[in-house]
Structure 1
Amino acid sequence: MATPVKRPDHDAVRSFPKPEFTDAEAGALDFPSSTSRSYNYFEPAKLRATTYEDVTFDVQPDPARYLTQGWIYGFADGEGGYPQDWTALKSNDWHQFRDPNQEWEQTIYRNNANVVRQIQQNLANAKLAGAYAGWSPGWMHFVERNLGAWMHAENGIGLHVFVACQRSAPTNMINNAMAVNSAHKLRFAQDLALYNLDLSEAGIGFDGSVHRSVWHEDPLWQGVRENAERLTAIGDWGQALFATNVVYETLVGGLFRSHLVMQISARNGDYVTPSLVGTGENDYARDLAYTRSLLTLLVRDAEHGAANRAQLQEWLGEWLPVSLHAAHELQPIWSHPAERVVPFADSLAAAKDDLREVLSDLGLEEPKELAE
């Protein structure tokens, strides 16, 4: 016979464990902004914080500000988080840097999408108008070899310099700017690749594959290739930023893009290429702006300014000869187009002036090589 099951008395009063609230250390402390509803836990650059500051400032933690227990993760060699000795440059407060371009996620996509749409429209209009049919064989030869080779330089710098560096700096503000820098380079390299493909399919006899042999074998481009490859081997993110955006980009990048291609394309009947290369120049203007802002902050640092200037001067002495050599190796391509417009000496002098302007802002001495 089965034993009857005793059911609980539903009318009985039941008891439940009651939560006990204790004063955990963080919750019990009074902070300067404990009663504030603005959530401004940092000092904005201006009167009110911008959206850029709200979404980028302190996204990357820092033991000097909030992580009182130190880094909560580390590397196999014992270093934790974002070591400040990943560059020889020093700062009293790395968090003072603000990107003058105020780049954050929304602006990155919006700006690059606008550039891509502009380029696609220009290329589509060029096809409809048959703009490539009027190119002379000499100009077509110049574009397929030299603009195609430059695509490799942009891709290498973007992928192996700035993508590598964009995680290394001690604040999210700096890393974010370098990440955008890498996106600029990679997008521009892709633009050049798509342009190369369009020209190959335009029925004008354009050789869309010759750029590979030019980059690998043409003696005129081996100085640029050496310069770009040596930049990718730099371990110090501050040195990589200075050597690339200040030295290489003014003496080699600006020399080729601005002081050659942009100057001579129209004279050779080409109104499409400058619209494409102009986007790369606009990218570099923005990238140079954040670079100058950061380096100016470092050379004016109350404690480390003099040491930072000395370090930049040392790096300038190391990388200036490399980029000048690369620039001089390119000299013969100035004679390739039928309409030359500007001599190499004038283009190089303009590129040197661009570098002098940056060096003056940073309080660096002009090396004697610039006067030669």
Structure 2
Amino acid sequence: MSSTATSAPKGRSFPKVEFTDSEAGALEFPGSKSRSYNYFRPAKLRATVYEDVTVDVQPDPERHLTQGWIYGFGNGPGGYPKEWTKAKSSDWHAFLDPNEEWEQTIYRNNSAVVRQVALGLENAKRAGAYDGWNAAWQKFVARNLGAWMHAENGMALHVFTSIQRSGPTNMINTAVAVNAAHKMRFAQDLALFNLDLSESLGTFDGSVHKQVWASAEEWQPTRKVLEELTAVGDWAELLFGVNVVFEQLVGQLFRSELVMQISAKNGDYITPTLVGTGEYDYNRDLGYTRALFRMLTRDEKHGSGNKELFGQWLSAWVPPCLQAARALQPIWSQPAEKVRTFADSFGAAKEKFTQLLEEIGLDVPKELEK
């Protein structure tokens, strides 16, 4: 009988693993153990949380993608095209939001405002603060503050929301997105205020604002200029037209130079508190807007061209905004207590607008002097 014994299986051999120190994470260098980013130059000695979570988060072929955009739109442009605005910058990434807005600050700041508004309205209803309002003031608030709610909502949805992805850097887009959130929240606050007044006062007309915004003669130029602004395709022009021109000549004129000035004299201490939150928001949003356009006018390579471009934008939007402001003059005479004239309010608004243009580095348009 033949031997059926089998020999032991031969051992299998594998290539010997050799470490070349070229694998990811092998190289040690100063800061390699740090948990903070250091691939950009912070504005100050140390990077802030805002800079860590926004700077260079959005890719850019000029800084990171040596192969070009790895994604794009169906009609050709890739990523975040700089051609979406006629304004030019030597380095769009140089813009940093002076408010340092990022995800955490958005929720923290807005929740604080919401709590303030909710407590104010709750306490007003509990104390019967609306009972002393005379018929003229009720009509003023129902018609005009209600109409302004539509303006705020239009800016939220059709201006800032529409361009919050159009900027070439994450820092610009984040600031614009926060601007959209501010406008949306304020419009909703005005709507809730309207509902509270309708429930608290049997003589308050909570629906007249729709007719006023749609057909009241004094509000149509404001509505017209906002609708024309929403048709602008250039994101920087849209931001300039709204935050630099419209908000200065119309928005602040109505909110700050009228409503907040005359409310208390008409026995109303609630409305200026509510409207004040909108003014606070705009002041913050004006901060980033001023910083952005001042950066563009001071650009060593493109500054002069940007100034010329912004001058054209002023020529396009100052006249219709002045027309909208002057058309609102009749509402200054509607309250029972007329403690401020239209000339005083309009003069203050134009003075603030002139100061803003000087801070950006732009000439005051001749239309403002008429």
Distance in structure 2 (CA, Å) of the matches to 1:9 and 1:323:
97
Contact 1:99 1:177 in 2 (8 A): yes
Shift of 1:178: 0.3
Check if 1:220 corresponds to 2:218. yes
Deviation string 1:139-196 (CA, Å, 9 cap, x unpaired) is 0000000000000000001110001111001000000000000000000000000000
Contact 2:21 2:27 in 1 (8 A): no
Distance in structure 2 (CA, Å) of the matches to 1:89 and 1:23:
46
Letter in 2 for 1:336: Q
Report the counterpart of residue 88 of structure 1 in structure 2: 86
Would the alpha carbon gap of residues 17 and 265 (structure 1) be closer, same or farther in structure 2, given more than 3 Å must change? farther
Report the counterpart of residue 229 of structure 1 in structure 2: 227
Would the alpha carbon gap of residues 296 and 30 (structure 1) be closer, same or farther in structure 2, given more than 3 Å must change? farther
Distance in structure 2 (CA, Å) of the matches to 1:263 and 1:18:
82
Aligned residues: CA RMSD: 2.3
Check if 1:167 corresponds to 2:179. no
Check if 1:151 corresponds to 2:177. no
Shift of 1:32: 9.0
Shift of 1:22: 8.0
Contact 1:132 1:204 in 2 (8 A): no
Report the counterpart of residue 275 of structure 1 in structure 2: 273
Contact 1:163 1:182 in 2 (8 A): yes
Distance in structure 1 (CA, Å) of the matches to 2:18 and 2:338:
83
Shift of 1:30: 8.7
Shift of 1:204: 3.4
Gaps of 5+ in 2: 1-5
Greater Cα offset, 66-75 or 360-369: 360-369
Report the counterpart of residue 72 of structure 1 in structure 2: 70
Letter in 2 for 1:52: Y
Greater Cα offset, 35-44 or 289-298: 35-44
Deviation string 1:95-144 (CA, Å, 9 cap, x unpaired) is 11110000000000000000000000000000011000000000000000
**TM-score, normalising length: structure 2:** 0.93
Number of residue pairs aligned between Structure 1 and Structure 2? 364
Letter in 2 for 1:307: G
Shift of 1:363: 1.9
Letter in 2 for 1:69: Q
Distance in structure 1 (CA, Å) of the matches to 2:304 and 2:30:
36
Shift of 1:9: 11
Contact 2:219 2:328 in 1 (8 A): yes
Contact 2:266 2:335 in 1 (8 A): yes
* Identity within the alignment, %: 63
Shift of 1:17: 7.4
Letter in 2 for 1:208: G
- Aligned partner (choices 296, 307, 310) of residue 308 of structure 2: 310
Report the counterpart of residue 194 of structure 1 in structure 2: 192
Greater Cα offset, 200-209 or 101-110: 200-209
- What secondary structure sits across from 2:351 in the alignment? helix
Contact 1:247 1:323 in 2 (8 A): yes
Letter in 1 for 2:61: P
Check if 1:349 corresponds to 2:358. no
Would the alpha carbon gap of residues 10 and 104 (structure 1) be closer, same or farther in structure 2, given more than 3 Å must change? farther
Distance in structure 2 (CA, Å) of the matches to 1:315 and 1:246:
10
Gaps of 5+ in 1: 1-7
Would the alpha carbon gap of residues 74 and 204 (structure 1) be closer, same or farther in structure 2, given more than 3 Å must change? same
Contact 1:215 1:221 in 2 (8 A): yes
- Equivalences for residues 134-145 of structure 1 within 5 A: 134-145=132-143
Report the counterpart of residue 332 of structure 2 in structure 1: 334
Letter in 1 for 2:44: K
Distance in structure 1 (CA, Å) of the matches to 2:109 and 2:299:
32
Check if 1:130 corresponds to 2:141. no
- Aligned partner (choices 45, 54, 57) of residue 55 of structure 2: 57
Shift of 1:39: 3.0
Check if 1:99 corresponds to 2:97. yes
Shift of 1:205: 1.4
Distance in structure 2 (CA, Å) of the matches to 1:334 and 1:221:
13
- What secondary structure sits across from 2:130 in the alignment? helix
Distance in structure 2 (CA, Å) of the matches to 1:22 and 1:134:
83
Distance in structure 1 (CA, Å) of the matches to 2:29 and 2:306:
34
- What secondary structure sits across from 1:170 in the alignment? coil
Distance in structure 2 (CA, Å) of the matches to 1:283 and 1:126:
23
Contact 1:149 1:215 in 2 (8 A): yes
Letter in 1 for 2:316: E
Shift of 1:203: 3.1
Contact 2:81 2:168 in 1 (8 A): yes
Distance in structure 1 (CA, Å) of the matches to 2:32 and 2:158:
47
